[in-house]
Amino acid sequence: MELILLLAATDAEGNLGKPALGAATAAQALASALGGAKLVAGLFGARASQAAALLAGAGFEKALILESDALSQARYATDAAAGEALVKACGATLVVAPATSRIQRIIGGLAQRCGGKVDTHLTELTAEEGAPLATRWFYRQRMSGRLKRAQRPWFMTVEAGLYPPPAGSGSPAVEKVQAALPSTLTRVTGEKSPASGAQTIRPDADLLFVAGAGWCKKQADGRLHVPEAEKVILGFLEKTQSSLGGSKSVVDQSGEGTVLSFMSHLNQVGQTGSTPRHAKGLATCCHGEEPHTVGWRFVNERRAVNLNANCGWAQGKADVLYVADAFKVMERVNDLLGG
């Protein structure tokens, strides 16, 4: 019988984020599909004990807790050692974890340390003929594959936003795990926001607003209107609390210091950027062909505003394409959204 371990880190307040709770549900779905695998949670952090209650109703037999002040910082050496202790404490054959930056940093090394194999960014966990079956994308979301592995332990990270948090009652029993965490040469000194100070990336937002290079090109009057573009885009983001994505071309321009001051490579969506998950997406002034449109592959409802009716960003990709001047449309949208 498989033993599934949900491996997750708690935050500074001792909570589990949405990605971890989604991974808990994914682990539960896998256990159910396998027909009764054992389900154990392994949580680590400076204040991990209280997080076990968040897993109520997900079918976990117990929650292994590894607490240490050293785990208040997200660092490879200490996090990997904590993960190793939790995997070995229960003899997990399958390890399911959220694809967060903290887990992604350690999951490969942890698999190697435990003599296992690893697959990341999974989008579905189920079973076929009594064995786990995982789904993931290849070649930057351009093709999807389903895979099985014979080796154990098998380490898997699950993408955020695909599974809901567990719902129910009955917290798992808590069992403390002790581990000697190694000393490390790394000291985390904090987090840094983009230089502009503008919060433009909101992974939990309903709407993704994608800005293309057209915002920074000469407009109908033959002149650039970049300051106006910045004002319109930032105004829209503030009013809607949406997340900002950028096409490769607009992001590369920003790197040259000539345009949209708040746009960085962190905003880039598409073939060489991110593929965020949002309920809706509005693309403006975006132009490009198939490889770049993977940037909104995981956006459910899509609309676009640009001047080219045959644009590759929109044709066959968007639900609605408005052939219009995005400056004028978005200025009016901001007016209608009000203060």
Partner 1 sequence: MAFFHIVVCGGLVPDPLQTLEPVSGPAGWSLKNESLLPSILDPWAANALYEADALAKANPGSKVWLASAAPKVKLQQVLMALAQKAPFELLPVDAPAGGFTDAVECALALAGAVQSIEGLDRSRLLLFGGWESASRGAGATLSVLGEKLGLTEQFQGVDKLTVDGDGSLEILERVEGGKHQVSVLSSPPAVLGWATGGRAEPPNNPQIGMANMRALMPSLQKARAAKLPGDGLTLKSVSLPRQKRNTQVVKDMPVEQIAVEIVEWIKKKP
Site for partner 1 in 68-87 (CB under 8 A): 74-77, 80
Please, what is the minimum distance in Å from the beta carbon of residue 171 to partner 1? Answer: 26
> Which one of 40-48, 51-59, 107-115, 215-223 is the stretch in contact with partner 1 (CB under 8 A)?
107-115
Stretch that binds partner 1, among 31-39, 57-65, 211-219, 315-323 (CB under 8 A): 315-323
Q: Which is nearer to partner 1, 167 or 309 (CB)?
A: 309
Q: Which of residues 148-177 bind partner 1 (CB under 8 A)?
A: 148-151
Q: How far is the CB of 157 from partner 1 (least distance, A)?
A: 9
Residue from the set 113, 175, 224, 235 that interacts with partner 1 by CB under 8 A: 113
Count of residues touching partner 1 (by CB under 8 A): 98
Using the rule CB under 8 A, which residue among 33, 72, 119, 312 binds partner 1?
119
Contact criterion met (CB below 8 Å) for 223 and 185: no
Nearer Cβ to partner 1 (32/272):
272
Length, in residues, of the chain: 339
Query: d(Cα 256, Cα 246) in Å, to the nearest integer?
Result: 15
Contacting range for partner 1; rule: CB under 8 A; set: 52-60, 61-69, 85-93, 322-330: 322-330
CA distance 240 to 29: 34
Cβ closest to partner 1, residue 193 vs residue 258: 193
Residues in Cβ contact with 14 at an 8 Å cutoff, skipping those fewer than 6 apart: 45, 46, 47, 48, 49, 50, 51
What is the C-alpha separation between 269 and 255, in angstroms, rounded?
A: 15
- Two structure tokens written together for 164: 């809901």
Judged by CB under 8 A, the chain residues 248 through 307 that form the site for partner 1 are 255, 265-268, 271-272, 279-280, 282, 289-291, 297, 300-303, 305
Nearest to 9 by CA among 86, 88, 109: 86
* Nearest to partner 1 of 171, 199 (CB atom): 199
Q: What DSSP designation does 274 have? A: B
Q: Which stretch binds partner 1 (CB under 8 A): 24-32, 39-47, 48-56, 146-154?
A: 146-154
CA distance 52 to 46: 14
- The nearest distance, CB 219 to partner 1, in angstroms, is 14
How many angstroms separate the first and last alpha carbons of the chain? 58
| CB distance 247 to 270 below 8 Å | yes
Least CB distance from residue 56 to partner 1, whole Å? 25
> Pairing state of beta strands 173-176 and 131-138?
unpaired
Q: Return phi, psi of residue 24, to 5°.
A: -60, -45
Nearest-CA neighbor of 205 among 30, 1, 3, 18? 18
Distance CA 262, CA 103 (A): 28
Among 206, 276, 285, 224, which residue's Cα sits nearest to residue 249? 285
Q: Is 62 in the site for partner 1 (CB under 8 A)?
A: no
Q: Which of 104, 171, 219, 261 binds partner 1 (CB under 8 A)?
A: 104
Which positions from 180 through 239 interact with partner 1, judged by CB under 8 A? Answer: 182, 184-194, 199-203, 206-207
Segment near partner 1 (CB under 8 A), from 28-36, 61-69, 85-93, 318-326? 318-326
Nearer to partner 1, 21 or 80 (CB): 80
